[in-house]
Amino acid sequence: MAAILIVEDDRGLAQAIACLLRQAGHSPVLAPDARTALRQAADLPDLILLDLVLPDLPGEEVLRRLRGQLETADIPVLVLTGYPEAAARLRILGTPGLVGVYLKPISGIQLRRVVDAALASTTEQGADDDVQRQRHGDLIRRLILEGPDALVFHVYRRVHADRMRVRRPVVTDALT
């Protein structure tokens, strides 16, 4: 079903999570440290399960680097940690792309529910993105055929900014 990157330095726990996910029909990929996780994330998994305590880099730094790269910025991340204060800090910060923060130990049933919910929400979001892209494409085609060039340029800029999820201020006097 889905490729899931498990970033966990505890080998036994990582194997148990991988076994559970395989039983659910997913394809788990293991990363025992942050550097391996960042390399594996380049393969664009559908979901990342991230531990915050890793031997080479903190999990928060891994999350920051994932969000800093255009290719991996949209990969949803579930944080699994044994530290309640770290979980609280991440919840307060409201990190983009962070689907949830869960404390270890987490039961197999709860983990499967959380993973399924995270994958379902990203699938729905992807379907919404496709519909929005189709609408944008139709609007641009119609404006190119029927509208003045200045209007086409402004609509294209707005659509491009929406796709990049970057809100830029609209400059009304850009084209005179």
Q: What is the mean pLDDT of the chain?
A: 78
Q: What are the pLDDT digits (tens) for 146-164?
A: 666 666 666 666 666 666 6
pLDDT above 50: residue 72: yes
Token pair in block for residue 122: 């990203």
| pLDDT at site 17 | 94
Q: What are the pLDDT digits (tens) for 19-56?
A: 999 999 899 999 999 999 999 998 889 999 999 889 98
End-to-end, the C-alpha distance of the chain in Å comes to 52
| pLDDT at site 90 | 66
pLDDT above 90: residue 64: no
Q: Tell how strand 47-51 and strand 27-31 pair up.
A: unpaired
Q: What are the pLDDT digits (tens) for 80-123?
A: 888 777 766 766 665 666 778 888 888 889 999 989 888 887 65
Contact 7, 18 (CB under 8 A): no
- CA gap 27, 25 in Å, rounded: 7
pLDDT above 60: residue 173: no
